[in-house]
Amino acid sequence: MSGNIELLNTTLAAAKAADRAALIAYLPAGFPTVEGGIEAVKAVIAGGADIVEVGLPHSDPVLDGPVIQTADDIALRGGVRIADVMRTVREAYEATGVPILVMTYWNPIDRYGVERFTAELAEAGGAGCILPDLPVQESALWREHAEKHGLATVFVVAPSSQDARLATITAAGSGFVYAASLMGVTGTRASVGAQAQNLVERTRATTDTPVCVGLGVSDAAQAAEVAGFADGVIVGSAFVKAMLDAPDEAAGLAAVRSLAGELAEGVRKR
């Protein structure tokens, strides 16, 4: 079975044709439980998310701030496994028809087996992977199997990335480019900052692939600001915090659905 990279491409193209940015939501698998995590993904899609990144919880999440680390810890203590990540992708995709990617560090894939991981992700209906710590120069094996199975390979660029490095990264990636809005870890910020716009402009000079901005966006006003210069707005910590702060799972699902609705309005007010 082939993965859903084409669905991802057409979803981003449709947002662009509608003169808006895509809303991309991030939630970790297995949080607060495997079943609860699946319902949370469905909830953000119901609220208006165009694309979802399902996080593969990891014990050493170097890019993630304290909010996502807390959720990952809950998922790991709950016994989440890669099979549960695949189940989350499958059930969310089958229920919604929305492109679902997995965001993961490289070590779990390396231990699981690249061929096995890509084959199972494609079979589950996944659209691709975001790989924040896989160096492009070491990615040939992954990209070979991802391409074979119809999966996007999304790399992360940062404000520190030099122009030549940006060109190397964007030439190797597919689906979209994940532009980290600032140096540091994930988390909500009072301001997304001018660094993000500059990075998007420099990245776009190297590729026609959509450029989506993450790290720091937490409300509709920030989503609208980023949507003014990016092809997609990625929101993670704000959704996870809404789940963490809720008194129970039902309230958490209502909160993330509501937040997705506010952010979806924001990306339409670019």
Q: Are 37 and 207 in contact (CB under 8 A)?
A: no
CA distances for 133 relative to 61, 129, 171, 191, angstroms: 10, 12, 17, 25
Give the dihedral of Cα atoms 165, 155, 7, 21; nearest 10 deg: -80
Q: Tell me, yes or no, if 84 is annotated catalytic.
A: no
Q: Are 54 and 28 in contact (CB under 8 A)?
A: yes
Tell me how far apart the alpha carbons of residues 185 and 158 are, in angstroms, rounded to a whole number. Answer: 11
CA distances for 144 relative to 62, 151, 233, 244, 265, angstroms: 26, 10, 28, 38, 38
Which of 35, 39, 50, 53 is catalytic? The answer is 53
Please state whether beta strands 156-157 and 177-180 pair in parallel, antiparallel, or not at all (unpaired). parallel
Tell me how far apart the alpha carbons of residues 41 and 51 are, in angstroms, rounded to a whole number. Answer: 10
- Please tell me what DSSP assigns to residue 187: -
Tell me how far apart the alpha carbons of residues 21 and 14 are, in angstroms, rounded to a whole number. Answer: 9
Q: Tell me, yes or no, if 53 is annotated catalytic.
A: yes
Which of 6, 19, 60, 64 is catalytic? The answer is 64
Tell me how far apart the alpha carbons of residues 221 and 270 are, in angstroms, rounded to a whole number. Answer: 9
Q: Which residues pair with 154 in a beta bridge?
A: 130
- In Å, the largest CA–CA distance within the chain is 48
End-to-end CA distance of the chain: 37
Catalytically active residues are 53, 64
